[in-house]
Amino acid sequence: MPIYEYMCPECNCKFELLRSISKANEDASCPRCQHPAKRVLSRFASFSKGSDGESTPIAGTAGSCAGCTSSSCSSCNI
């Protein structure tokens, strides 16, 4: 079963749920305020490990800033 992310428009709580694909687009009850929450697009990142053992980003890092590396985000704390 996949994990989906949801965002509550009432209290801005973002949470994940493990649920079947058939229920992916159904609203989910917010764990904080119990209001209906809509599914949101999940971001992901993909990394590759080089021959030296260092991880380097290969996808999903478009939102990072100049101070970010594959192992830390020193300036924007994303």
pLDDT of residue 50: 80
More confident residue, 24 or 27: 27
Taking Cα atoms as reference points, which of 8, 3, 6 lies closest to residue 19? Answer: 3
Q: Is the pLDDT of residue 1 over 80?
A: yes
| Cα–Cα distance for residue pair 59/3, rounded to 1 Å | 20
Specify the amino acid at residue 74: S
**Burial class of residue 8 (count of CB atoms within 10 Å of its CB; 0-12, 13-18, 19+):** buried
- Write out pLDDT tens, residues 30-75: 999 999 999 998 777 677 888 888 887 776 555 545 555 555 555 5
CB 30 within 8 A of CB 15: yes
pLDDT of residue 24: 85
